[in-house]
Amino acid sequence: MDLEKEKVIEKIKEGKEYGLKYAQLARAIELQPGTIYLFVNGTANLSKTKQLQALCYIESYIENVKKQLRKIEHKGLCVKWSH
């Protein structure tokens, strides 16, 4: 398995655009929140396993937000989400 650090960082930032907090992500993958900040800023590394866990969590998080938004958009309760 080979993950590109920059693509993982991009996905973390995308999750943030959907409201994901770094602390929430860190708790989900059993890290200290500061570790996520350092990773995103390029001053720390995460193991491939932690990167994979982060990607899976973020994908699920974004899918869930999109599902919720579709539900309320359908009812006319909000306008289209633009992250």
Asked whether the predicted pLDDT for residue 78 surpasses 80, the reply is no
Q: What is the largest distance, in Å, between two alpha-carbon atoms of the chain?
A: 44
Over residues 18-66, the pLDDT tens digits come to 999 999 999 999 999 999 999 999 999 999 999 999 999 999 999 999 9
pLDDT at 25: 98
Which segments of the chain does DSSP mark as H helices, in order?
Answer: 5-17, 22-28, 33-40, 48-74
Of 52, 51, 47, 62, nearest to 16 by C-alpha is: 62
- Per-residue pLDDT averaged across 1-29, rounded? 94
Of 69 and 35, the structure prediction assigns the larger pLDDT to 35
pTM score of the predicted model: 0.85
